[in-house]
A = this chain, B = another copy of it.
Amino acid sequence: MTAYKEKYDNYLADFETVLDGFCGRLDCKPEKLADSLKYSLKSGGKRLRPVLMFAVGELLGVERTSLTNYALALELIHTYSLIHDDLPEMDNDDYRRGRLTNHKVFGVGNAVLAGDGLLNTAYSLLFGECFNGNDRVSAAKFICDCAGINGMIAGQAADLEHENDTTVDENLLNFIYENKTAKLLIAAVVVPSILCGGKYYSELKTFGSVLGNLFQLTDDILDIEGSFEQLGKSTGKDSAEGKYTGVRLYGLDGSKVRADVLAVKCTGILEKFEGDTSFLKDLVSFVRQRIC
């Protein structure tokens, strides 16, 4: 096992322990509501946002325990966005991470409520952190704004609105990538900075942005080249549905070249940091080369 893989698995295992504890305490009625939240939360996934947050926290010397509720909140927000995004009138996906999507198991009405419930619970966790000083409020508000109507939700709305456009505008594509995908990655890497007085704040913001754009571009490439077995979700849907993707703008080969450029740019930002950035550099390579 490579050092990178070992480290990723360690961060992942730490987060899964936090998540298991949270799910164990998660208590609400009706049971179906609780079940639907846990179903989507515990359906695996790479946990990229919590892993990024933990790794940047370690680089900046921020204690893991002071990050756990932020990591949890971010994963809850990410999970709610997937549940709502998979709905029939949105992306209409039946599978996610190799399992039936929330609405296929619990029905559309419940899936809407499950998403609402995860979003609301994320903020309840973060309000709990706000008793401990203004840095912790700033970090909570930063996550909220990244997820909001000038962040992820704006990206989703633009994505939905331009689904059947016949042309692809680069500015609009950048807007969708930046908001739909990059904003939550920016939140993941910027929160540790806010919690230690803003160390490398702007570098981390740029790093999160470029990494998010890279992640979404490789997602678009995988939609063409990947298989259901690798990805756990249907592929080839984006182009079939006329989605606004990088591949439509740059072509498949052009997208790969652009992904390489983004990966180099992303790694370059890390050169400015003191301390051991090898894990984050390897993570960038992984995102570029990922097959799942």
Contacts and interface: CB of A to CB of B under 8 A. Distances in A.
A255 B69 CA distance: 45
Interface residues of A, number: 51
A37 interface: yes
B121 A33 contact: no
Nearest to A88: B108
Contact of A153 (B120, B137, B148, B175): B120
- The DSSP consensus for interface residues of chain A is helix
B107 A120 contact: no
Interface string A115-128: 11101110110111
Interface stretch (A14-22, A156-164, A225-233, A274-282): A156-164
A147 B116 CA distance: 10
Given A124-B145, A127-B144, A130-B130, A30 B113 contact: no
Contacts of A84: 112-113, 116
B126 A127 contact: yes
Given A109-B90, A112-B84, A127-B126, A28 B154 contact: yes
Contacts of A141: 124, 127-128, 130
A29 interface: yes
A154 B33 CA distance: 7
A158 B110 CA distance: 10
A87 interface: yes
Nearest to A37: B149
A253 interface: no
Contacts of A37: 149
A32 interface: yes
Interface in A246-262: none
Q: 4 nearest interchain CB pairs? A: A89-B108, A127-B141, A33-B157, A130-B130
30 contacts: A27-B150, A28-B149, A28-B154, A29-B154, A30-B161, A33-B149, A80-B116, A84-B112, A90-B109, A109-B160, A112-B112, A116-B116, A116-B119, A116-B153, A117-B157, A120-B148, A120-B149, A120-B153, A123-B123, A124-B144, A124-B145, A124-B148, A127-B127, A127-B137, A127-B140, A127-B141, A127-B144, A130-B140, A131-B134, A131-B137
